Structure 1
Amino acid sequence: MGMVYMIVHDGSMLIKDEIKIKVRSKIKELEKETGAKIDEMNADTDLRLKKIKDDILLDAGKKADAERKKIDAQTNVEMNRMMLDVKEEVICDVVSVAMNELECNGPLKFKDELRRLLMRGTIECSTTDKLMILGNKETLDVFDLNYLDAVKKEAGRDVRFEKEVRKMGAGIVLWDEGNDMFLDYSFDGIFRSKEDEIRTSVSKILFG
Structure 2
Amino acid sequence: MTERKCILTGDRADPDMLIRLAVGPEGQVLPDIRAKAPGRGAWIGVDRVALEAAIAKGKLKGALARAFKAGDLHVLDALPAMIEDGLRKALLDRLGLEARASMLLTGSEKIDVACRKGDVKLLLHASDAAADGNRKLDQALRVGQEAEGTDLAGITLPVDRNALSMAMGRDNVVHIAITDSRAAARLRGAIGRLESYLGCATEAPAHGEPASADAPGVG
* TM-score for the superposition, normalised by structure 2: 0.30
Q: Which has the higher helix share?
A: 1
Name which one, 1 or 2, has greater alpha-carbon Rg. 1
